[in-house]
Amino acid sequence: MTHTRQAPPLVTHDAISVSIMWDRLVSIADEIVSTLMRTSFSTIVAESYDLTVAILDANGQLLCQGTKSLPVFMGTAPVTLQHFLTRYPPETLKPGDVLISNDPWIGTGHLFDINVMRPVFVEQEIVGYTMSITHLPDIGGLGFGASATEIYHEGLRIPIVKLFDGGVRNELVVEFIANNVRTPDQVLGDLFANVTCNEVGERMLLEFMQEYKLSSLEALSYSIRHYSERAMRSAIRIMEDGVYAHSIQIEGIDAPLTLSCVVKVSGDAVAISFDGTDPCVRQGINVPFCYTNAMVLYAIKCLTVPALPNNAGTLAPVAVSAPPGCLLAAEHPSPTGARHVIGHFVAPLIFGALADAAPALVQADSGMADLVTFQGRHPNGRAVAALYFASGGFGALENHDGLAVTPGPSNMAVVPTELWEALTGTMIEYKRLVPDSGGPGTARGGLGQELAIRNDTGSLMTVFFMGNRTEFPPAGLVGGEPGQLRRHQVNGETVHPKGQYHLSPGDRITLVEAGGGGFGKPGERSRALIRHDIAEGYVTPAGAARDYGFDGE
């Protein structure tokens, strides 16, 4: 934060007022989200919540965020706003201005996400800002994927610019965008949905201030941060002080990559650095720091105060740093389109690091979601381009078995078999849980699954895999064992998890999804739970003997 604070305002609202006004602000953010969802075209916004909305005070401090937003948007808005205000200082802004940018380094890590900001005025005074961020349907370039070797391949980079200047639309900017994307009507539709929702946000914020007779949001903002920070800090105190280093290997596109972190817990604060992490690669999987930071905040929040609304106070006790140019602090012009491929591993990396500091809180590794793109022709003649998601098992926690087939940290839902078959003309031959795939532990990892998809379209199909966990299994924690590895097969032959394959009619792919890691020593698992697992077929008798030394008694 570049703004220097004057002496903090006194807490002028009592605890009752704070809780009521705070709930109202979150409710306003949620209502802006619902306006955004109703007015945007793209299904990724409406169905995956690949969006967020933030309300910030006049100093740029985050007051609250929409409840339903993906982890990648944790705490990015205040940083983006500072960039906006550096370019256009507050005194130069006027009512009706709307600023936008999709710059990965000042926004949320890839060009697909558009950041839209509107200053909120009471008369000629800025009392706060609203911001919304959504994943656009297209941004030109090569399209969504990891194939770029430079950011220039990935599409249009919009600098910080006023889309509306005092309520007047900048047609040149609109034209620039329209000329650089594949589906201009959808992209502009979503862009203006963002504009509309910020307008609604301003109206509701002003009504709220009127109702509670507030001339500024600062005192309330201070109170909200105060209570949040206090809650966050006291939750951090539960973790044992110390310096915890952790390192994992993950699969890159063609060679393993190393991610490392050092987590320092001291009292009521946490500092995380990523020294030792491999440098960027020439593939679109590099992670700008803003995304890394968001994933760290997500991981820490899961461990501390999961139910607390996001705001500047919950972010304050966590400091994050990474060596510039490493995979987790990619610099221009490294491509970043599929940053999630690497970025999703930040959460399990942190959980692993904190296993000794807070064993009761951390989660063993999850099998994570698998993503396969299908291209071909439907028997009805239409072109098919469809994404299939299939989840591995969720990692176990202390006294809590991992859920079967549950994604994490991402949250895409499966396409039902019946919809998938109608959409693509392929056939899913079976889809079942894999016994013994959950990592053994006092708490067992969630089961993975196996499914087979057959090309029944009568035409050649191409599949693009984007799988992980085929060499490095989901690790167990605190004595727990790893879950089963992921495996991709074409006609029964194991193939490259990030490869591209052609399927003739009748060919099939088989996906075996990774199981979640276990938690705690398998030998300490309750016999009753093992018996139940055997009775329901989650663990085979042979698996129980091998993994748990269980002989049936």
| Contact between 180 and other proteins per CB under 8 A | no
| Contact between 131 and other proteins per CB under 8 A | no
| Contact between 132 and other proteins per CB under 8 A | no
Q: Which bin fits 4, alpha (ψ -120 to 50), beta or left (φ > 0)?
A: beta
| Contact between 188 and other proteins per CB under 8 A | no
| Contact between 321 and other proteins per CB under 8 A | no
| Contact between 41 and other proteins per CB under 8 A | yes
Range list of H helices, 392-466 = 417-424
* Beta carbons of 483 and 518 less than 8 angstroms apart: yes
DSSP character at residue 66? -
| Contacts of other proteins in 8-27 (CB under 8 A) | 14-16, 18-20, 22-24, 26-27
Of 132-140, 400-408, 495-503, 504-512: span binding other proteins (CB under 8 A) = 400-408
Q: Which of 216, 417, 459, 489 binds other proteins (CB under 8 A)?
A: 417
Size of the residue set binding other proteins (CB under 8 A): 78
Bridge partners of 259, per DSSP, are 248
Q: Which of 11, 46, 214, 253 binds other proteins (CB under 8 A)?
A: 46
State how far the Cα of 329 lies from the Cα of 383, in Å rounded to an integer.
38
Q: Which of 88, 105, 121, 389 binds other proteins (CB under 8 A)?
A: 389
Q: What is the nearest approach in angstroms of other proteins to the Cβ of residue 301?
A: 6
| Contact between 70 and other proteins per CB under 8 A | yes
State how far the Cα of 149 lies from the Cα of 84, in Å rounded to an integer.
28
Q: Of the candidates 63, 79, 107, 315, which has an alpha carbon nearest to the alpha carbon of residue 204?
A: 63
C-beta of 233 vs 525, nearer to other proteins: 233
| Contacts of other proteins in 446-485 (CB under 8 A) | 449
* Beta carbons of 103 and 173 less than 8 angstroms apart: no
Owner of token pair 């903002």:
221
Which 3 state secondary structure label does DSSP give 345? coil
Of 42-50, 95-103, 107-115, 492-500: span binding other proteins (CB under 8 A) = 42-50
| Contact between 61 and other proteins per CB under 8 A | no
Q: What are the structure tokens assigned to 248, written together?
A: 């994992």
Q: What is the nearest approach in angstroms of other proteins to the Cβ of residue 123?
A: 23
State how far the Cα of 91 lies from the Cα of 331, in Å rounded to an integer.
31
Task: Give the E-state strand segments of 421-531 in sequence order.
Answer: 427-433, 449-454, 461-465, 487-490, 493-494, 500-503, 508-512
State the DSSP H helix or E strand holding residue 164, giving kind and residue range, or none if neither: strand 161-165
C-beta of 49 vs 84, nearer to other proteins: 49
C-beta of 238 vs 253, nearer to other proteins: 238
Burial class (CB in 10 A: 0-12, 13-18, 19+), 159: exposed
| Contact between 71 and other proteins per CB under 8 A | yes
Q: Which of 3, 8, 12, 38 binds other proteins (CB under 8 A)?
A: 38
Q: What is the nearest approach in angstroms of other proteins to the Cβ of residue 354?
A: 13
Q: What is the nearest approach in angstroms of other proteins to the Cβ of residue 414?
A: 4
| Contacts of other proteins in 197-226 (CB under 8 A) | 207
SS (H, E, C) 242-308: EEEEEEEEEECCCCEEEEEEEEEEECCEEEEECCCCCECCCCCCCCCHHHHHHHHHHHHHHHCCCCC
| Contact between 494 and other proteins per CB under 8 A | no
C-beta of 156 vs 412, nearer to other proteins: 412
Q: Of the candidates 369, 366, 231, which has an alpha carbon nearest to the alpha carbon of residue 300?
A: 231
Of 167-175, 213-221, 267-275, 404-412: span binding other proteins (CB under 8 A) = 404-412
Q: What are the structure tokens assigned to 82, written together?
A: 């500072």
Q: Which of 319, 427, 460, 529 binds other proteins (CB under 8 A)?
A: 427
Q: Which of 94, 377, 431, 521 binds other proteins (CB under 8 A)?
A: 431
* Beta carbons of 286 and 339 less than 8 angstroms apart: yes
Q: Which of 182, 203, 282, 432 binds other proteins (CB under 8 A)?
A: 432
| Contacts of other proteins in 258-317 (CB under 8 A) | 298, 301-302, 305-308
Q: What are the structure tokens assigned to 234, written together?
A: 């006291």
Q: Which of 268, 356, 421, 507 binds other proteins (CB under 8 A)?
A: 421
State how far the Cα of 210 lies from the Cα of 369, in Å rounded to an integer.
46
Of 52-60, 326-334, 425-433, 484-492: span binding other proteins (CB under 8 A) = 425-433
x/- string (CB under 8 A) for other proteins, residues 503-542?
Answer: --------------------------------xxx-----
Neighbouring CB atoms inside 10 A of 63's CB total 28
C-beta of 417 vs 540, nearer to other proteins: 417
Give the side-chain half-sphere CA count within 13 A for 403: 6
Q: Which of 363, 437, 442, 457 binds other proteins (CB under 8 A)?
A: 363
C-beta of 161 vs 308, nearer to other proteins: 308
